[in-house]
Structure 1
């Protein structure tokens, strides 16, 4: 239970004021005991007539905003101030009698909110209410794009609704239109990256791209706690470099898994046929201790088909590439459709969506995994922000092989939800890549080439020895180690070493 009338708390949050009253989605969840995750923001009405303030998760409005204690009025309030929450709305419709829904809609049949609620009912449940089509009035948007990001609209004549939802019935996460995200979009990181590379020689770009590709591949394995041999890192890096070239399908996901995990002796490759979870096992009993429970195996075909359909819709409607990449990639890892390889393919999907939609410069991969590795705690937190609350709504028991078996309906937990925090995180990673990682790598290579040319013009080093010398200088921050001077480069005089070190430190700006 998320609400307690005696203690006055909701979803673990104590009421900010003794006389505050829940409103909108929180009121509906409480009144109908809906078994769904609560919205990130909790709306409540307080005594002051014109109050409008925030306190933690609480959004407090004055008494003049008070909706009537009826599901229809509370849902209208939610749509007006909170936006669309498909999980709550769908759960509410399941809790109401059809006659009650029809009667409330017919009471305001031409009203915009009434028509939107009617549309959501038929869209979510695939059931038609015994109501005649509306034939007059302006079309209204299903999603208020002042509050949430929508796609290009499809007209629905029955309710005279513009269906601008960024997804399909079987899969439609939503993203709030926050100031932070709007600011990120306005910064145009794709254009900034193109400008950074515009005056750089193509050979330098190619070398930077190759390094970043390998770095990203290695980081993606490191995030999973793995240190595979170099050939596997190179092979996965090559696949990342091809991101955006193949259409997303189940077959493509299974092909990617084969590349990530070439030795499939210890897993069943392909889409899972059993339960799954992320977490540990009890050291004594070996019973699962889940941090996240994957979607049920019987739901995977529906979820993946709808996820791919949503991505096609996003591409056709010009949905912003970073919003699309977040929705597709993070939803994939939350669904967790494979026994192993989900995390690396999740990060590959970020590359895929950005590349296919022309957000990344041609031939260059943003090293998202490398940046994620540097922000690993933030990454874990943004994953848990979505997954942790959902554990409370999943009923399961351990299987004889110490897996999990889910016993209740959970598909809505994976196909509806809010991706706002995940979008902000990905934008921050892209910002780091474009403003720091990419230009620093290009600058490093340009400086490296300058030192290389200086030494190469003065000494007859073999290519291999010159590479080794520069490696030693990099490791020593511009100073050759005693071991290098006494062994590999013992032939160099003190004055020659001093000149090389001085040039290296000067070019790289080292003190």
Structure 2
């Protein structure tokens, strides 16, 4: 079956744009039908020629907006052909969008365009995509409503998972839950969240922060609520506060090529090559314009996911990009104003528990980008990089999978991590009240044993008893176990009654 639309443009033009999740193909169907990894197109609906402009207009109508492909194919369309198509249907929605984009990607105006007399056409269909603020172009009567700008724009489709997550109002529920706690419990829950968010963000990078670094990162998380706008100086300041090696602390965006390595040997061990150094500054300027304003212009978790993953894909520093990207997730939530000051969702804790899914979300983009770079091994730690693509793959990317992941982690941070820790603290308090009435054990030892017992379903192992035997009488272990089991049984009874 023949390819049409974006897939034909990609193949026929030898484009380096990423492979399509659902390439359009002519099939024996009676209507356009998505499914089974393709978009089935009736023969009578498909373009009747292989002319690129016909397939661009078809794709805009039936497949949505793929800026990666459009950025690479529109410059090849002659101005005369664009004008001829415009004169045939000057008020056509898709030819106007195509002409608007043609001018941007060619860096020139289409002179002699016909008069346009209809209302504005949106580049992104709000029924299909999460959209950004309206930016109207009076010349073409086109509304660019993307998540970013034509210098940097991610796309997010309204999948059922994303629609359900938006409707669930995670930040509203987080505010309500945390405010429902008493002041003392809230302080303890947040202290846990800030500390474990720090530890797990470093753990994802397979690092253990020193006490000073952990304290600095906790302080950094608190600063997310201060509203300071992102800039090169500010990001370099943030990077320096998270990196231990002073030789890797940055004062500006990188001016050299970096790469990510896996366990393989030579060139095969290079798993991702971020954009070339000359592209970093313009990309970061456009990324910062998005990251500073998007949290208040669209759903904050959508903005946070794009900002966080987009930062990693650009990789503007030689080190520290991963943990800084997770700070930027929090920064976006705080910038939105929809998470009360001082509150925090421990998203990195959830990500650490779901590292395979986190890696898959990253690789949905990074694997295809890596395929477009020829890497030649020179010597240990030295490589030559040949980019066999243009900047479109870094400027325009499909963030749908990353946003779905961001919503899942935000929900888990609230509904699992925070709630479970609060339940744990409440049970801890109940056990401590009961055992303090019956035994006299050194405070630190008692606290440690209660935590051990709660984590082990009411049992203190022989190994743990032996460790404390010189300070804790054997009978005290029994009292602690009994108290924990009683508290856990009561909790089970409450859960049963509530069902």
For residue 60 of structure 1, give the secondary structure of its aligned residue in structure 2.
strand
- RMSD of aligned C-alpha atoms? 2.5
With over 3 angstroms needed to count, the CA separation of the structure-2 counterparts of 1:446 and 1:77, relative to structure 1, is same
Match of 1:139 in 2: 120
User: How far apart are residue 472 of structure 1 and its match?
Assistant: 4.1
Q: Aligned to 2:341, which of 362, 365, 388?
A: 362
Deviates further, 500-509 or 78-87 = 500-509
Q: Aligned to 1:85, which of 66, 69, 77?
A: 66
Contact 2:146 2:154 in 1 (8 A): no
Deviates further, 348-357 or 59-68 = 59-68
Report Cα offsets for 1:227-249 as digits up to 9, x if no partner: 23333223212212322422111
1:485-500 matches, cutoff 5 A: 485=465, 488=468, 495-500=475-480
Match of 1:95 in 2: 76
With over 3 angstroms needed to count, the CA separation of the structure-2 counterparts of 1:71 and 1:105, relative to structure 1, is farther
Match of 2:433 in 1: 453
For residue 417 of structure 1, give the secondary structure of its aligned residue in structure 2.
strand
With over 3 angstroms needed to count, the CA separation of the structure-2 counterparts of 1:40 and 1:48, relative to structure 1, is closer
With over 3 angstroms needed to count, the CA separation of the structure-2 counterparts of 1:496 and 1:196, relative to structure 1, is same
| Mapped pair 1:388 → 2:367 | yes
Match of 1:189 in 2: 170
Whole-angstrom CA distance in 1 between matches of 2:299 and 2:455: 41
Deviates further, 298-307 or 69-78 = 69-78
TM norm structure 1? 0.88
Match of 1:17 in 2: none
Q: Aligned to 1:417, which of 397, 401, 407?
A: 397
Whole-angstrom CA distance in 2 between matches of 1:83 and 1:143: 7
1:428-507 matches, cutoff 5 A: 428-474=408-454, 476-482=456-462, 485=465, 488=468, 495-507=475-487
Report Cα offsets for 1:61-83 as digits up to 9, x if no partner: 22232223222221122112211
| Mapped pair 1:256 → 2:238 | yes
TM norm structure 2? 0.90
Whole-angstrom CA distance in 1 between matches of 2:148 and 2:115: 24
Q: Aligned to 2:157, which of 176, 193, 216?
A: 176
Contact 2:200 2:349 in 1 (8 A): yes
With over 3 angstroms needed to count, the CA separation of the structure-2 counterparts of 1:192 and 1:267, relative to structure 1, is closer
| Mapped pair 1:334 → 2:313 | yes
Match of 1:295 in 2: 275
For residue 265 of structure 1, give the secondary structure of its aligned residue in structure 2.
helix
Match of 1:10 in 2: none
For residue 156 of structure 2, give the secondary structure of its aligned residue in structure 1.
coil
Deviates further, 22-31 or 403-412 = 403-412
Aligned length: 488
Match of 2:54 in 1: 73
- In structure 1, stretches of 5+ residues that fail to align are 1-19
Report Cα offsets for 1:241-265 as digits up to 9, x if no partner: 3224221111121111111113223
Match of 1:124 in 2: 105
For residue 129 of structure 2, give the secondary structure of its aligned residue in structure 1.
coil
Whole-angstrom CA distance in 2 between matches of 1:147 and 1:125: 27
Contact 2:52 2:77 in 1 (8 A): no
Contact 2:295 2:335 in 1 (8 A): no
User: How far apart are residue 330 of structure 1 and its match?
Assistant: 0.5
| Mapped pair 1:306 → 2:286 | yes
User: How far apart are residue 100 of structure 1 and its match?
Assistant: 2.4
Whole-angstrom CA distance in 1 between matches of 2:231 and 2:469: 54
User: How far apart are residue 39 of structure 1 and its match?
Assistant: 2.3
Whole-angstrom CA distance in 1 between matches of 2:5 and 2:467: 75
Whole-angstrom CA distance in 1 between matches of 2:374 and 2:269: 13
1:401-416 matches, cutoff 5 A: 402-408=382-388, 410-416=390-396
User: How far apart are residue 204 of structure 1 and its match?
Assistant: 0.6
User: How far apart are residue 385 of structure 1 and its match?
Assistant: 0.8
Report Cα offsets for 1:121-171 as digits up to 9, x if no partner: 123333211134745211111211122121221221101112212211210
Larger helix percent: 2
1:144-159 matches, cutoff 5 A: 144-159=125-140
Whole-angstrom CA distance in 1 between matches of 2:466 and 2:63: 70
Whole-angstrom CA distance in 2 between matches of 1:315 and 1:106: 40
Deviates further, 396-405 or 322-331 = 396-405
1:148-297 matches, cutoff 5 A: 148-245=129-226, 246-265=228-247, 270-280=252-262, 283=265, 286-287=266-267, 289-297=269-277
Contact 2:300 2:336 in 1 (8 A): yes
With over 3 angstroms needed to count, the CA separation of the structure-2 counterparts of 1:47 and 1:464, relative to structure 1, is closer
With over 3 angstroms needed to count, the CA separation of the structure-2 counterparts of 1:295 and 1:228, relative to structure 1, is same
For residue 224 of structure 2, give the secondary structure of its aligned residue in structure 1.
coil
User: How far apart are residue 267 of structure 1 and its match?
Assistant: 6.9
Whole-angstrom CA distance in 2 between matches of 1:487 and 1:282: 43
